[in-house]
């Protein structure tokens, strides 16, 4: 992922996930926290190679992106390429919110990757981008020790760490 519309998590959840990142790093398992200091625990609603923060802000003007939504991290998953993540249990509220955000982005001409569109999106919080295969099982076990995690969304931003963009909405 290069650019994303990120939902930010409450302070307690952010601390808990950062603690998990540090625990994995201490065991020699690279976490998103050790990639560089710009990442913060989040849930991405949309992603693309590039996302124009001004276009997103215009498309979502007046819409409280994510604020007040409750989410529950209840399982661990992995994507091809050794990406490890905490999975969010879907709720009707989360699905409706995601669809509304995408309808507004599409109307505003903001293009996003297909696998973040409604009906394809897997809501998750990335824990690591490159878990070495020999330590995937211990990494999953460590993540399971931290679950479940109940969280509240407190804000949103367009983030593109490669281009030093972190634009709150």
Residue-wise pLDDT tens digits, 124-144: 999 999 999 999 999 999 999
Is the model's pLDDT at 112 over the cut of 80? yes
What mean pLDDT comes out for the span 105-118? 96
Q: At what angle do helices 11-26 and 136-144 cross, to 10 degrees?
A: 150
Put simply, whether the predicted model's pTM sits higher than 0.85 gets the answer yes
Q: What pLDDT was estimated at residue 36?
A: 67
Whole-angstrom distance, CA of residue 103 vs CA of residue 82: 31
User: For residue 1, what pLDDT band results from cuts at 50, 70 and 90?
Assistant: low
Is the model's pLDDT at 163 over the cut of 90? no
**Average pLDDT of the chain?**
94
Q: What pLDDT was estimated at residue 2?
A: 80
Q: What pLDDT was estimated at residue 165?
A: 87
In DSSP notation, 90-138 reads P-HHHHHHHHHHHHHHHHTT----GGGSTTT---EEEEES---GGGHHH
User: For residue 58, what pLDDT band results from cuts at 50, 70 and 90?
Assistant: very high
Structure tokens, 157 = 């931003």
Nearest to 85 by CA among 97, 94, 74, 98: 74
Asked if 21 and 32 touch (Cβ cutoff 8 Å), the reply is: yes
Nearest to 75 by CA among 60, 84, 63, 86: 86
Q: Spell out the domains of the chain, with CATH numbers in brackets.
A: 3-168 (3.90.1140.10)
In percent, how much of the chain has pLDDT > 70?
A: 98
What mean pLDDT comes out for the span 99-123? 97
């Amino acid at each position: 992922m290069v650019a994303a519309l990120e939902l930010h998590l409450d302070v307690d959840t952010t601390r808990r996930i950062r603690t998990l990142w540090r625990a994995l790093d201490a065991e020699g398992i690279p976490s998103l926290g050790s990639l560089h200091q710009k990442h913060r625990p989040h849930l991405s609603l949309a992603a693309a190679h590039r996302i124009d923060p001004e276009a997103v802000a215009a498309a979502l003007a007046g819409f409280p992106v994510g604020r007040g939504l409750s989410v529950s991290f209840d399982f661990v998953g992995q994507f091809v390429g050794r990406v490890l993540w905490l999975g969010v249990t879907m709720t009707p509220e989360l699905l409706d919110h995601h669809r509304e955000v995408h309808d507004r982005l599409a109307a505003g001409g903001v293009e996003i990757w297909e696998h973040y569109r409604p009906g394809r999106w897997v809501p998750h919080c990335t824990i690591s981008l490159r878990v070495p295969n020999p330590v995937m099982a211990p990494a999953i076990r460590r993540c399971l020790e931290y679950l479940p995690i109940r969280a509240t969304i407190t804000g949103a931003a367009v983030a593109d760490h490669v281009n030093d963009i972190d634009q709150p909405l």
